[in-house]
Amino acid sequence: PQTAFANSSSDLKIEVKDIFQTTVSGIVLDSGGIPLPGANVVVKGTTNGTQTDFDGNFTLEVEDDAILVISYLGFVTKEVAVDGQSTINITLADDAAALDEVIVTGYQTETKRETTAAVSIVKAEELAAIPSGNVEQQLQGRVAGVTVITNGQPGTTSQIRIRGFGAFGGNEPLYVVDGLPVSNTEFLNPDDIETTTVLKDAAAASIYGARAANGVVVYTTKQGKRGKRKTEMTVNISSGVTDPNVGGALEILSPQDQARYTHIAYENDAAVSGDPVDYRHPQYGSNAIATLPDYLYADGVSGASASQVNLAQIQSNYENDPDNTFLIKPNLAGTNWYKEITRIAPISRFSVGFDGGTDNGRFYSGISGQNQSGILLENEFVRYTARFNSEWDIAPWLSIGENFQATYRSVTGGFGGNGGIGGANSESVILSAIRMPSIIPVYDEFGSFASTKAAGFGNARNPVRVLKNDNGDDKAYAVGGTGNIYVLLKPVDGLTIRSSLGGTYSNSHYNSYSYKYLGDSEPQASNGYSEGSNYFFNWTFTNTASYDKLFGKHRVKALAGIEALNTGVGRSINGSGINPFSTDLDFQSLSVVQSPVVNSNQFKGVNFYSLFGKLDYSFDDRYYITGVLRRDGSSRFGENNRYGVFPAVSGAWRVIAESFMQDQDVVSDLKFRAGWGQMGNSNNVDPNNQYSLYASDRSSTFYQTNGQASGTDEGFAASRIGNPDAKWETSTTLNIGFDASFFNNKLEFIFDWWQKDTEDLLYQLPLPGVTGNYASAPSVNIATMSNKGVDFEIVGRGNFTEDFSFEARVTAAFLTNKIEALAPGLDFFDGPSVRDIVATRNAVGHSLSSFYGYNVTGYFNSQAELDASVDVVRDEAGVAVLNQNGETTVALDAEGKPIPAQDGQGLGRFKYEDINGDGRITADDRKFLGSPVPDFTGGLTLNFKYKKLEFETYWYTSIGNEIWNQTKWYTDFYGVFEGSAKGPAAFNSWTPELGNNAQVPRWESASNFSTNTVGNSWYVEDGSYLRLQRLSFSYDFRGDLTDKLGLTKLKIGLSANNIWTYTNYSGIDPGVGGGADTNFGIDIGNYPVGPQYMINFEIGI
């Protein structure tokens, strides 16, 4: 090499260096010695660089005194001097504090170091760990402050609540996938997800303005990485089963015990009435000792003895009329109905991801399939996805990109409206299994389903028949695509302009069959068929400009944006009819049914038009301040209040960067954060709220005016009363927190104290009956609600030996939810009733959906107590002086107090607390009995790594919530549907000896105020629980074996999920949901979450 044309000393220096150019190569490894593909290796101060290949190798031409900067996401960036070496092997340390971890927030990304807000990140592998049909379920316990209420149906929608319940409805967070707001995330394949960020406070979320009040969950899918390299393929395969946990199901009485306790009930009835005992059950004989019949039902005769049954005649009747001829023998061993409706259900999922890049572009594509059976027969979930994400440079200042996913999704045989959330409120098949007496076999002697046509067993429907016949042939699916295309412009240094157009289109169709069945006591008289279809389309157009520039120690980032979107237009059509000529599946359609009814509907969605901006300023990585402003306009509101403005400010002080913190090695990071801001919510209001409308409705506004026996005339009625003045709900959030880590990041704390006050809550103030109740009441901005809490996260990590490390992560949240005000003059509203029992009340001063009813103080244990329990006459001072019979002495209880009079009172029945002390139990004696809102929720993840073996366990707990166990209403009172299956509570029903220790009231037929017709504290149980959600082992084969096989990755894992629960709750599963935020926590035949056992393979090529 030669020196040439050197004309200044500095130039000379460069030239000289050029002379000593050399080739350096090496391998980049992680601390476990595993090669890191795709790590950046750059010569410091230049653009000269490369990326490591799939074995972590790199080769680079450098000057021999160059300094290499080696960086890799999630690892501490390292600088190495070349010093003339030709081979350099580099080991990168895990960047435990991950301060430079990139967080995808609203419309932009930032590093953890600079964030001033309360945001949480969920690791991609945590989302993928438990196979569920909906990734949102995996947020449970992973993010402090996020409550997930779900159930065991595959593909079910869950109730996700970020930092409490801001409103009476519409509390679901905003989901954003690759910048595109979506109404749900059920389409996402967890293996496609790169990052998940939960924006919890206003500082983070208010950039989403009117839709951010319930927090925002931001997903980004895998994007591929830039740099010319081999395309990488990753294959994930999981397979396993869900176990229905039959052993943990509710017990029901054996046939013999059921019969015995039926007779005990008759004896107790007789004791009350003073009449001789009437052993009257149609099956158990008329003697004191109950006997079981030879036939429960023999073609019209219930409780028949063998001698009464003419089998030949019945056989011939069966041949003539098989639908209506049944011959049912008792199942003396007892049918376990829960077992009969459930199964060990297989799950499998595969994903193949391709991750590639070139110098001027990158792409990721993935396909996946998930087949998951529910533990209930015929409950199936299927999802296939294909994703393609890419980004290409057209010029150094211009790039285009797209994210696109096509999805096929099918859920059949599930139950409950609203994607499965509503299952807990309907009379589900699980409840049928609990109500079906064990003496009834699944099938009769002819192989038909046996059921309650046999008299004396209540009105449950054979749930196996319901599942197999009515669900087995059902089909339902949705196909759709979602995605966006975008353009990135970088006209000048630091400025990025992004324009994105995205949307979702989906189309769905279902066929549903129900079959005539005459064997139930409340039979299904017709064959039914229904079919329906809909399409849905939404779009979002977003334009943003962002600017990021460092001026010495001053850093300025700015973002400005404009966005227009529609939440979804569409149409639906569905029809139903009965008794097609043939029930052959190939024959049935709406064209061949009788009495066809067709309905259709159209919707136009809601338009939003928004302007927003964000300004971040930081000084010397020590002081940060951020301001956010968004203005939203929405067609949901009338012109008076169409626009809302949502500001937020937040700041942070990174104490660790101060000079006085440099000479210590205890604290490795310390940052204080504070933020204030406002966010909106408009979910809980009908798009037509501003209009007064009339509608026609076949069931409520039609009338036959011509005297015909068929058909009807169309009429109208006022269907909606408009409120043109409604506006957003506004929640004001204050968040104060700190992030700290100690001992070289071996111990980390993230702490946030927050308060969220929601004002102008939209509430459909119930209209007094006198104004008419058919028209929907308008939502008015009237109520206020407060939520406050503390979220924290503690992470501890360390090494026992060089090969043996651990990490422990605790996420925890305390929450208080309180309704602060409803409407003037209105202090509460009640939830709906289940079998005439209203369990919940939403009242000022209490949490949403608080339980409300009479307080059981014990049972009436003696005749003396009953005699004392009479209405009293009081003197002016309120002292009882006369009983209702005019006697001057009033019987008193042991404590010298009169016992209040109570309707339906009797020995062994509930005794209620006389709260207002007026001597009579009335509606005024109800009180609040608990709340389904947990005080505390938390998750604990423990991870141990020994060489290539990894063990992980994950626990979840919910503490301080109550459950209203409505299921007991069916199983624990003889008088509820006499003859239906009862539980072992019968054994501990009231006797004089048991007294207040009895588990349930006296076993008798009575059904009244003092037994089972009103809600009371007996239904309310502690719903706290601790659950071992996950236990997994995995082994990473990377090393010689993978090299030999030519693989970049090979990992095998075994895991078990939901395997153990500790709770005092007596029902089947304490994870109880509900149909609405104003009415949840009621257990009535919920779909339980069963244990799962899985094996997983991850292969990289």
What 8-state DSSP symbol labels residue 35?
B
Binders of another protein among residues 545 to 564 (CB under 8 A) are 564
State the binding string over 812-831 for another protein (x if CB under 8 A, else -): -------------xx-x---
Length of the chain: 1101
671-690 binders of another protein (CB under 8 A): 687-688
291 sits near another protein (criterion: CB under 8 A): no
706 lies in the binding site for another protein (CB under 8 A): yes
How far is residue 47's CA from residue 356's CA, in Å, rounded to a whole number? 21
SS3 state at 60: strand
Q: At 1052, which amino acid appears?
A: I
Any contact of residue 976 with another protein (CB under 8 A)? yes
273 part of the interface to another protein, by CB under 8 A: yes
Nearer Cβ to another protein (524/883): 524
If one asks whether residue 696 binds another protein (CB under 8 A), the answer comes out as: yes
Interface segment toward another protein; rule CB under 8 A; list 630-638, 753-761, 809-817, 874-882: 630-638
Provide, rounded to whole angstroms, the least separation between the CB of residue 779 and another protein. Answer: 15
Q: Does 19 bind another protein (CB under 8 A)?
A: no
CA-based nearest residue to 138, from 153, 123, 120: 123
Using the structure block, give the residue that is written with the tokens 């966006």.
Answer: 484
C-alpha 422/C-alpha 746 separation (Å) is: 44
Rounded least distance, CB 445 to another protein, Å? 17
Phi, psi of 264 (to 5 degrees): -65, -40
The size of the interface with another protein (CB under 8 A), counted in residues, is 113
Residue 1012 in the binding site for another protein (CB under 8 A): yes
Specify the amino acid at residue 908: G
Nearer to another protein, 711 or 886 (CB): 711
Closer to another protein by CB, 236 or 634: give it.
634
Residues 816, 163: Cα–Cα separation, whole Å: 9
710 sits near another protein (criterion: CB under 8 A): yes
**Restricting to residues 324-353, which ones interact with another protein according to CB under 8 A?**
324
Which residue has tokens 């001597």?
Answer: 919
- For the chain, the straight-line distance linking the first and the last C-alpha, in angstroms and rounded, comes to 43
**Stretch of residues binding another protein (CB under 8 A), selected from 539-547, 548-556, 575-583, 1038-1046:** 575-583
> Shortest Cβ distance from residue 843 to another protein (Å)?
11
User: How many whole angstroms separate alpha carbon 890 and alpha carbon 873?
Assistant: 10
- Quick one: CA dihedral 273, 983, 378, 370, positive or negative? positive
The one among 17, 112, 490, 604 contacting another protein by CB under 8 A: 604
What secondary structure does DSSP assign to 1054-1081, as a single string? EEEEEEEEEE---SS-S---EEETTEE-
| Closer to another protein by Cβ: residue 134 or 764 | 764
Decide: is 702 part of the binding site for another protein (CB under 8 A).
Answer: yes
- Tell me how far apart the alpha carbons of residues 756 and 732 are, in angstroms, rounded to a whole number: 6
Shortest spacing between CB 713 and another protein, in angstroms:
5
Task: State the binding string over 453-492 for another protein (x if CB under 8 A, else -).
Answer: x-x--xx---------------------------------
Interface with another protein includes 1005 (CB under 8 A)?
Answer: yes
Q: Determine, following the binding rule CB under 8 A, whether residue 521 of this chain makes contact with another protein.
A: yes
Stretch that binds another protein, among 409-417, 503-511, 635-643, 1018-1026 (CB under 8 A): 635-643
Q: Give the residues across from 872 on adjacent strands.
A: 883
Please give the distance of CA 697 from its chain centroid, rounded to a whole number: 33
The answer to whether the CB of 541 falls within 8 A of the CB of 609 is: no
Residue 801 burial (CB count, 10 A)? 7
Among 707, 878, 896, 1046, binds another protein (CB under 8 A): 707
Which of the residues 844 through 903 are near another protein (CB under 8 A)?
903
Backbone angles phi, psi at 644, to 5 degrees: -130, 145
Q: How far is the CB of 406 from another protein (least distance, A)?
A: 29
Q: Quick one: 205 or 765, whose CB is closer to another protein?
A: 765
Residue from 447, 419, 450 nearest 437 by CA: 450
Three-state DSSP state, 36: coil
Does 769 engage in binding with another protein (CB under 8 A)?
A: yes
Contact call for residue 999 and another protein (CB under 8 A): no
Site for another protein (CB under 8 A): which residue of 136, 186, 269, 748? 269
- Of the candidates 60, 122, 207, 1006, which one interacts with another protein according to CB under 8 A? 1006
The contact pattern for another protein, residues 729-768, with x = CB under 8 A and - = no contact, is: -------------------------------------xxx
Question: Are the CB atoms for 714 and 775 separated by under 8 Å?
Answer: no
Q: Is 705 in the site for another protein (CB under 8 A)?
A: yes
List, in sequence order, every residue forming a beta bridge with 234; answer none if it has no partner.
353, 1100
Per-residue CA distances from 611 to 320, 544, 788 (Å): 74, 10, 30
For the chain, what is the radius of gyration of the CA atoms? 34
In which residue are the tokens 């009769």 written? 444
Q: Which of 11, 65, 278, 359 binds another protein (CB under 8 A)?
A: 278
- Site track for another protein across 771-810, x = CB under 8 A: xxxx------------------------------------
**Token pair for 836:** 């005439």
Cα–Cα distance measured from residue 387 to residue 188, given in angstroms and rounded to the nearest whole number: 10
993: its two tokens: 């000896």
Residues 166, 603: Cα–Cα separation, whole Å: 27
Taking CB under 8 A as the criterion, the residue among 556, 578, 736, 959 binding another protein is 578
Q: Which residue has the tokens 């992030």?
A: 739
Q: According to CB under 8 A, which one of 25, 59, 601, 862 is a site residue for another protein? A: 601
Q: Pick the binder of another protein from 446, 1009, 1037, 1093 (CB under 8 A).
A: 1009
Interacting span for another protein (CB under 8 A) from 521-529, 891-899, 1023-1031, 1060-1068: 521-529
Q: Which of 693, 879, 949, 1045 binds another protein (CB under 8 A)?
A: 693
Distance of CA 608 to the CA centre of its chain: 27
